[in-house]
Chain A
Amino acid sequence: MLVIDLEMIMFMFFSAGAIFSAVLAVEHGEIVYAAFSFGFASAYVAGIFLLLDALYLAVIQLAIFTGAISVLIIFGVLLIKREKRGLSAEPTASPKRRAVGFSLASSIVLLAFVLIMQVPWPDAPPESNLIHASSLEELSLSLWGIYALAVNLVGVFLLSSIIGCVVLLRKEKDETVIQYRQKSGGRGENG
């Protein structure tokens, strides 16, 4: 039987906010607001992590998704030149494409819901987990124990992505400076 207590009210608030912000992030006409909505959706998901006793991951989620990634996307949007014909160079999707996408997404959700209903899920976490779930010590032991190789690989991936970004965008910068100097008629060199 469903009991409405403070935890359930907070869960409903966070989940409704996350889903509404995610829909806004996908459907909002202005892409800057869509990026803001994505940041809000990530913050609501961090609230759900808090309800799951994953305190450290909620903080990481707020710092990386809400802080870093949404700001990165907003900067990316600002650096991309707009087309004249519309806001944020947003091409409109055809009704057929929209219908196909909606039917695909709704069929995935419905199939997953039907499968979820077949399984007797636990109603509450086991008592022993409540002590361990928010423990930073357990998390670090797990990270540097069996997942130490994965952590190192993630570090290598981050390094290679930084180097990749620099290599991808560096060449164009020289070309842009040459174009700018040609446009300004050599004024850039004099002063």
Chain B
Amino acid sequence: MIPLSYYIMVAIVLIGVGVYGITVKRNLIRILISAEIIGNGVNMILIAFSTYSILFTMTGQTLALLIIVLSAGHTALGLALIMLFNRRYRTVDLDRARELRG
């Protein structure tokens, strides 16, 4: 069997890649993709803990399922906001969002 720490390490690397993408990239769609990568890493940690734990056998899987469904919703909403931003400013550059004043 594979030790639990290996799964956590892979998930942490995925979260690190996502954090790098959110911090460095200025394209809004790429930031959305990076957030989804972080979500994948978090789901992996939850499921690994639920499989390796005696007490919380199904808790991690249930939470991961809810997170997956929530990811679909916030991606759709985020893309709608990005398209609205693009129509108004003709760009997807995050730095232009600093001009937003409501």
Contact = CB atoms under 8 A, between A and B. Distances in A.
Interface in A73-109: 73, 76-77, 79-81, 83, 88-91, 93, 97-98, 100-102, 104-106, 108-109
A151 to B, nearest CB: 7
Contact of B52 (A65, A73, A122): A122
Nearest to A162: B76
Contacts of A172: 84, 87
Contacts of A162: 76
Contacts, number: 246
13 contacts: A22-B18, A25-B21, A26-B33, A38-B33, A45-B14, A52-B48, A53-B51, A73-B29, A73-B75, A108-B19, A124-B3, A129-B53, A165-B80
A116 B9 contact: yes
A143 interface: yes
A176 B45 CA distance: 45
Interface of B: 1-10, 12-21, 23-27, 29-30, 32-34, 36-37, 40, 43-44, 47-48, 50-54, 57-59, 61-66, 68-77, 79-84, 86-87, 90-93, 95
B61 to A, nearest CB: 6
Interface in A1-60: 7-8, 11, 15, 18-19, 22-23, 25-26, 31, 34-35, 38, 41-42, 45, 48-49, 51-54, 56-57, 60
Given A105-B20, A157-B73, A121 B47 contact: no
B37 A91 contact: no
Interface string A124-146: 11101100110000110111000
Given A109-B16, A139-B58, A172-B84, A52 B7 contact: yes
Contact of A100 (B18, B23, B63, B87): B23
A191 to B, nearest CB: 28
A72 B25 contact: no
Given A38-B36, A101-B20, A109 B13 contact: yes
Given A73-B32, A76-B82, A45 B40 contact: yes
A159 B27 CA distance: 27
A161 interface: yes
A161 B74 contact: yes
Contact of B51 (A72, A129, A139): A129
A89 B82 contact: no
Contact of B13 (A19, A126, A157): A19
A30 B24 CA distance: 16
